[in-house]
Chains A and B, each alone.
Chain A
């Protein structure tokens, strides 16, 4: 069960990755650092300063969205969203941010207290309410993202740019502003993921690395740019992780994920719901 919750959080983080990839063919390596930074902002405002959580979390989301816009403006736009260059620059920025946070926050792991303390009994299994809350938030946000992309004007504009940038341009859609929105949404998803991850596992400068790797695997299994694929693959990886975790120990989980990824690549190189690049 707890593997499923972790899988859902990873799915939420992976949704941000797949959104950017679908729309502008950018693999954002800084995504994991956004998760880490927003968890630290929540810890700093909500725990260190003692402000209420409902102030801390929106502030973290706003900060992440702001960083997302800065990344878009100063890193990816000058490179004209060229895939390989953006990937390499993202790695560089991610390393710089991560080691800067080592210097600023130190290696001590910090804890974000649960917003919903206590446990609840679910069919004979005890679950922390916080984990249920995290799972609920992830599911709701995934549904909201789907609704946004399919039933609102900016969402439809995004899908139009995803399908054909030039045609969208001719229909009066400004791709640049769509890119900015996409980066903001993606960063906000990362921030919520950071809040959930931080309240379940604690906060430290390396916390962004594993979710990022996991979300790459999830996105690749589900198919780059596909939201249903990402959701399915996230759940699948979550269950696979918790099964291997109980049977073989947690350290092997990553190896099993990789084996699954390799299998998918043999059978269907573009992922379950993906398309060719």
Chain B
């Protein structure tokens, strides 16, 4: 078991040497983006809050990258950290306000926030491209490596982002600050009574989670070369939540395995778009109702029962 993780990483690093199937690499890159999103949502999820605006922060990151690299001609390597920072900067005031409310109220506010981000980008055709979105976003430099037909370089980029994100968020969740987040989930009144800054800690988790969502969006923009309001929807946020719910909340392995499995399954069956949402809905309902003891059981033990009533 001790060697499982290094072996897995070595296998992932060596994968493009053995596999030249471009479609397979594409699926791996999509999985990578989904894993980053799932892990970033999970960090805030530790406190018992789900941000349904994650797709909005991803959109902000993607839009920043698109504008910086296409309109201003900046290199992608500068745009990536700037995009993540932009998402983090927007998240600070949003989080400051929306974290004033708890539970379901918070869900509804972040949900509305995600819709507003898409709405703003869709409303202003200049410079955001309106509903048509932005196409021809340049790939990272050197462009000779990041080609459409050979996805190896993109694969390593996605893998690097996944590893960095997972490592940082794992360290955070295991740090003293991570323990604070877990304690807020157990009972925020109790946590604040022993001197923990509950709103401040939630806010930091919210900003970090938006930061990585922005980074995932930046990678998305550079990889697909095309972004539009129809991609970063509330539905996508819910998909990410389904990854976590199906994978389990108790440890970081949950969101990662959920994202991997639930990205692979539709790809294997190649379900069309409209039935894909149906499948996701049924998986969500089924896993909540049928597996309360299984993967979800671990989560329910952690969520304080019945909203403090």
Contact indicator A92/B307 (Cβ below 8 Å):
no
By a CB distance below 8 angstroms, the chain A residues around B98 are: 265
Contact indicator B303/A84 (Cβ below 8 Å):
yes
Contact indicator B115/A254 (Cβ below 8 Å):
yes
**How far apart are A266's CB and chain B's nearest CB, in angstroms?**
6
B19 interface residue per 8 A CB criterion: no
Supposing A99-B274, A277-B307 touch, asked if A27 and B280 sit within 8 A by C-beta, the answer is no
A143 interface residue per 8 A CB criterion: no
- What are the nearest 4 A-B pairs in CB distance? A92-B284, A95-B281, A96-B281, A99-B278
Question: What is B's interface to A at a CB cutoff of 8 Å?
Answer: 48, 50, 97-98, 100-105, 107-109, 111-113, 115-116, 119-120, 122-123, 235, 238, 241-242, 245, 274-275, 277-278, 280-285, 288-289, 300, 303, 305-309
From 77 to 104 in chain A, residues with beta carbon under 8 angstroms from any chain B beta carbon are 78-85, 87-89, 91-100, 102-103
Bound complex: CA of A247 vs CA of B177, how far in Å? 48
Q: Mark A242-268, 1 if CB is under 8 A from B, else 0.
A: 000000000110110110011001100
A224 interface residue per 8 A CB criterion: yes
Supposing A96-B278, A254-B116 touch, asked if A269 and B101 sit within 8 A by C-beta, the answer is yes
Contacts across chains A and B counted by CB atoms under 8 Å: 132
Contact indicator A258/B116 (Cβ below 8 Å):
yes
**How far apart are A167's CB and chain B's nearest CB, in angstroms?**
13
Contact indicator B105/A220 (Cβ below 8 Å):
yes
Supposing A89-B288, A254-B119, A255-B123 touch, asked if A95 and B274 sit within 8 A by C-beta, the answer is no
Supposing A92-B284, A95-B238, A96-B281 touch, asked if A27 and B100 sit within 8 A by C-beta, the answer is no
Supposing A78-B289, A92-B288 touch, asked if A255 and B108 sit within 8 A by C-beta, the answer is no
Contact indicator B108/A88 (Cβ below 8 Å):
no
Supposing A84-B48, A252-B123, A269-B101 touch, asked if A92 and B285 sit within 8 A by C-beta, the answer is yes
Q: Which of B48, B101, B308 has the most CB of A within 10 A?
A: B101
Contact indicator A88/B97 (Cβ below 8 Å):
no
By a CB distance below 8 angstroms, the chain A residues around B100 are: 265-266, 269
Supposing A92-B288, A213-B111, A220-B109 touch, asked if A102 and B103 sit within 8 A by C-beta, the answer is no
Supposing A25-B309, A220-B105, A251-B123 touch, asked if A91 and B284 sit within 8 A by C-beta, the answer is yes
Q: Which of A25, A80, A95, A252 has the most CB of B within 10 A?
A: A95
By a CB distance below 8 angstroms, the chain A residues around B123 are: 251-252, 255
Please give me the residue from chain A that is nearest to B238 by CB atom: A91
Range for the number of chain A residues in contact with chain B? 35 or more
A216 interface residue per 8 A CB criterion: yes
Q: Which of A79, A80, A92 has the most CB of B within 10 A?
A: A92
**How far apart are A204's CB and chain B's nearest CB, in angstroms?**
14
From 1 to 42 in chain A, residues with beta carbon under 8 angstroms from any chain B beta carbon are 21, 25, 27
Bound complex: CA of A78 vs CA of B238, how far in Å? 22
By a CB distance below 8 angstroms, the chain B residues around A266 are: 97, 100
A217 interface residue per 8 A CB criterion: yes
Contact indicator B281/A99 (Cβ below 8 Å):
yes
Bound complex: CA of A100 vs CA of B282, how far in Å? 11
What 18 new A-B contacts, CB under 8 Å, besides A85-B288, A102-B274? A27-B107, A27-B108, A79-B288, A79-B289, A84-B50, A84-B303, A89-B289, A92-B284, A93-B281, A95-B278, A95-B281, A220-B105, A258-B115, A261-B112, A265-B98, A270-B101, A277-B103, A277-B105
Please give me the residue from chain B that is nearest to A21 by CB atom: B104
A114 interface residue per 8 A CB criterion: no
Please give me the residue from chain B that is nearest to A252 by CB atom: B123
By a CB distance below 8 angstroms, the chain B residues around A257 are: 112
Supposing A83-B103, A89-B284 touch, asked if A99 and B120 sit within 8 A by C-beta, the answer is no
A128 interface residue per 8 A CB criterion: no
